[in-house]
A and B are shown apart, each in its own frame.
Chain A
Amino acid sequence: MKRVYMDNGATTPTAPEVLEVMKPYFTDVFGNASSFHSFGREARNAITEARDSVAKLIGADDSREIVFTSGGTEADNYAIKGVAEALEKKGKHIITSSIEHHAVLHTCQYLEKKKGFEVTYLPVDEDGMVNPADVKDAIKEDTILITIMMANNEVGTIQPIVKIGEIAKEAGVTFHTDAVQAVGSIPVDVNQLNVDLLSLSGHKFNAPKGIGALYIRKGTKVAKYLHGGAQERNRRATTENVPGIVGLGKACEIALNAMDEKSAKLIALRDRLISGIEEQVDYVKLNGHRTERLPGNVNFSIRYIEGESILMKLDLEGIAASSGSACTSGSLDPSHVLLAMGLTHEVAHGSLRLTLGNYNTEEDVDRILDVLPKVVTDLRAMSPIYNG
């Protein structure tokens, strides 16, 4: 049975051409980038080159504004805790949204519970969109940070970051965006967006796991994150993950060159999948904005059935997807994102997320459209709340 991987929002495979450029850095070019000798220089040069590629992809003026991290979660933690620590004498109010990734949400909750910060969690509309006017209204004298994600990982809604960035700039408040789902998928330009900090993660766009970056605009006050050596211009100690960094650089280079082509391909597959599901399965609701949406994201609530059992049935058919049901979220409540969008618990438990990536094909989409209606029919036949 040919398996279909449609969980690219969770992670993507490392691209073969990315792996290829990484390989020498495990063996032949193994130097510590902090070393004086030629081995060290080789590693240092590779890092410099990769840093330039990352800067170029997100439109940073200066590659020194890029700090490599272990991934998106670390970048989010670094940005939020770093700004909080650097500016706590100025104020202790943070504005975020109710649909952030847990890397942002739990970091804000930590500051709230343990460090005496006040956090405003902005609501979203039924499409999962933050209203920029709400951001403006929430700004107070002591607001030191606004952190709003660029695109939501569950429902794919792309946030009005340009407008929020303008508001933050005008108010003189530091602005961070978690762009983990956006970078490599849609055009991202830190100057156009007016962001001071931006998190990105390699494994979401065909670089390996364990590598990411935080963009820190020149002049932005952020407390040092890891203490130790002087790596990353004395901001994040630890011997650099050279193979990972090289891989991230290559993935950024590929993403920049192939952005339009990849995006057009994914949007076509996405829309084929969305309209196919809407035509073939009744009582479904597309979650997230229909057009202001990540090219690879499809998220449906399928009424009268529960998410984990959908995933199990699909998995038995070799199809990999995800869900916002409680069983799959690892807690007793379904997805906080779907609840924030106003879905009832019942409907949120029945969500199915299919996220397309570089390697998905029309055949993959057709396979889903062949299997899913049967899965839904089977589970609904068992459901006490379905009277079809």
Chain B
Amino acid sequence: MYSDKVMEHFQNPRNVGEIPDANGVGTVGNAKCGDIMKMFIKVEDNIITDVKFKTFGCGAAIATSSMATELAVGKTVEEALELTNKAVAEALDGLPPAKMHCSNLAADALKKAINNYLGIETDDSDEVHHHHHEHDEF
């Protein structure tokens, strides 16, 4: 069900951990939904020089976190802000449809960390991530 790239990132996640002297930190998701991603960024001369993550969640959540950190490192702040959840999923050769919606939040976490660095307040109502609960119909 998962692509080889997802499995590879799940087995060998890049950039796991925290940055003690991070310039920006962002957290998205909540434990109720089953996914929480926390991103730490280090910015020097407008370039993202280091990204680390911690994630509670399924295989897709871990793999997208890992991929997002890889994609962000070396980018300018502006470039990194352009990164979308969709682009992260594409870099992993796609995700199962059910996961596109619920566990694909890494770019949002990164964006939140960058906004934190830029001094822009984001509250939870700004989160792109909303669960649409669909109940069985008879």
A interface list, Cβ under 8 A from B: 106, 109-110, 113-114, 304-309, 312, 316, 325-327, 330, 332-334, 344-346, 349, 381-386
Name the distance in Å between A57's Cβ and chain B's nearest Cβ: 34
The 5 closest A-B pairs by CB, nearest first: A346-B31, A308-B58, A384-B54, A384-B38, A345-B32
Q: Which A residues touch B55, using CB under 8 A?
A: 382-384
User: What's the interface size class on B, roughly?
Assistant: 20 to 34
Most chain A beta carbons < 10 A, residue from B37, B57, B133, B134:
B57
- Does the CB pair A109–B138 fall under 8 Å? yes
Taking the closest CB of chain B, its distance from the CB of A336, in whole angstroms, is: 12
- B:56-84 near A, CB below 8 Å: 56-62
Q: SS class of chain B's interface: helix, strand, loop or mixed?
A: mixed
Across-interface contacts of B60 in A (CB, < 8 A): 327
Q: Are A325 and B58 in contact (CB under 8 A)?
A: yes
Closest-CB distance, B69 to chain A (whole angstroms)? 12
What are 30 A-B pairs at a CB distance below 8 A? A109-B138, A304-B56, A305-B56, A306-B57, A306-B58, A308-B58, A308-B59, A309-B10, A309-B62, A326-B102, A327-B58, A327-B59, A327-B99, A327-B102, A332-B33, A332-B131, A333-B133, A345-B33, A346-B31, A346-B32, A346-B34, A381-B16, A382-B54, A382-B56, A382-B62, A383-B55, A384-B38, A384-B54, A384-B55, A386-B56
- Closest A residue to B57 by beta carbon equals A306
On whether the beta carbons of B136 and A334 are closer than 8 Å, the reply is no
Given A309-B10, A345-B32, A385-B31, does the pair A332, B133 have CB atoms closer than 8 Å? yes
Q: Which residues of A contact B62 (CB under 8 A)?
A: 309, 382
Q: Point out residues on B near A: beta carbons under 8 Å.
A: 10-11, 13, 16, 27, 31-38, 54-62, 98-99, 102-103, 131, 133-134, 136, 138
**How far, in Å, is B132 (CB) from chain A's closest CB?**
8
Contact yes or no, B34 A326, CB < 8 A: yes
Contact B31 A349 (CB under 8 A): yes
B56–A385 touching, CB < 8 Å: yes
Q: Given the complex, which residues of A lie within 8 Å of B31, measured CB to CB?
A: 344-346, 349, 385
**A117 CB, min distance to chain B CBs, angstroms:** 12
Which of A114, A308, A333, A382 has its CB near the most chain B CB atoms (within 10 A)? Answer: A382
